Amino acid sequence: MKKLLRKIFLADLLEGLWVTFRNQDPKYIVTEQYPFARPKVGERYRGAPRLNTNPENGETLCISCDLCALACPENLIVVGWERNAQTKRKELVNFTYDTSRCMFCGLCEDACPVDCLELTQDFELANYSRDGAIWDRQMLEEGPKPARYKF
């Protein structure tokens, strides 16, 4: 009899709905609300590459030594430089970094003697094309500019 009454009054359905509505309270939401809420990545996370510049004058810290390119097992870094005829020093002309082939091992970062090349905690590297995954000097110095969303 009890079973029949439960069926007639849809008790199981109502119980299920109650569980659903009870968990609508924001304090029970465990799903990350990305991109509105950005996740915190681990302290040692290695993400988007960056070429650091001198904060005082904006000049690159890169001395075009090519050590990062030599250290990279994927050969994905190309350092373009030319020698200044007056100072006789190498000057950085271009720098390309193919993020689509990078495995974020950090060997290039470790090889850099002047802390210019850095793997940052930026994690948004998606692109619409393969060419877009190749970052040039300007992109590497400015860093990624992901869209920021608000609730």
Residue 16 or residue 80: which is nearer to ligand SF4 going by CB? Answer: 80
Q: Where are the alpha helices (DSSP H) in the chain?
A: 2-8, 11-22, 67-71, 107-111, 137-142
Q: Does 74 bind ligand SF4 (CB under 6 A)?
A: yes
Considering only the stretches 23-31, 37-45, 73-81, 128-136, report the one whose residues sit in contact with ligand SF4 under the rule CB under 6 A: 73-81
Among the listed residues 97, 94, 96, 98, the one whose alpha carbon sits nearest the alpha carbon of residue 81: 94
Residue 2 or residue 88: which is nearer to ligand SF4 going by CB? Answer: 88
Cα torsion for 78, 75, 109, 83, to the nearest 10°?
Answer: -30
Residue 17 or residue 93: which is nearer to ligand SF4 going by CB? Answer: 93
Interface positions with ligand SF4 (CB under 6 A): 62-68, 71-74, 76-77, 79, 102-108, 111-112, 114, 116-117
